[in-house]
Amino acid sequence: MINSPLKIGFLASGNGSSARAIVAAIQAGDLPAEPRLLVSNNRSAPALAFAGEAGIPALTIATQADPDAADDRLAQAMADHGVELIVLSGYLRQLGPKTLSRYAGRILNIHPGPLPAFGGHGMYGRRVHEAVIAAGVAESGICIHLVDEEYDRGPAIARMRAPVEPGDTAESLEARITGLEPAFFVETLSRIASGEIVLG
């Protein structure tokens, strides 16, 4: 059971757009949560600078040289900072077994397209929108799902539909979906905080 206020840890490889929106909602009093830690695998990630400016503890944990050690360090760092719920905000590395086990059912990712049809290894960012356009489907969407050991295969907890408009390109669809994601993540976290969505 996750209690309110939510104690959130963030993982970001780049800008951390969702993390920024979530922290802004917390600061505005619109989301009962506490940002406890932000971790990046990329020491030059703008998300780290943002965390510093916002007064959120931040760490760089490189994953490529020794993934097992990085997994140990990540799981321990989240626990040491009292994190109860992990939010992936453009984190482009697969999580290891220790983190997945310690936070089973409490790691969230947002995916910019319908799952499972447009997910899996390598399906992130514009690649998702290119695949949606190429498939000729009438509708795309956003999916917030639990994270497990397979890319984009954890159970969905919230979905938002987004029509593919006539004349849409991957770029225009990406811009529209990207604009919708942060508020949808905040709304979903609010539903978790209120008990409307129950996680493990």
Cα dihedral sign, 142-146-151-153? negative
Q: Which of 81, 111, 129, 145 is catalytic?
A: 111
- The superfamily in CATH containing domain 6-194 is Formyl transferase, N-terminal domain (3.40.50.170)
**Cis peptide before 116, with omega less than 30 degrees from 0?**
yes
Q: Which of 33, 90, 34 is nearest to 57 (CA)?
A: 34
Residue 86 neighbours by CB under 8 Å, 6+ apart: 8, 9, 10, 11, 78, 99, 103, 106, 107, 108, 147
pLDDT classification of 42: cutoffs 50, 70, 90? very high
Q: Tell me how far apart the alpha carbons of residues 73 and 75 are, in angstroms, rounded to a whole number.
A: 6
Based on the residue annotation, tell me whether 81 is a catalytic residue of this protein: no
Direct distance between the N- and C-terminal alpha carbons of the chain, in angstroms, rounded to an integer: 5
**For the residues 54-58, what does the mean pLDDT come to?**
97
pTM: 0.94
Domains of the chain by residue range: 6-194
pLDDT classification of 109: cutoffs 50, 70, 90? very high
The strand order across the sheet containing 58-60 reads 58-60, 33-40, 6-11, 85-88, 107-111, 139-146, 156-163
pLDDT tens-digit series, residues 166-189: 999 999 999 999 999 999 999 999
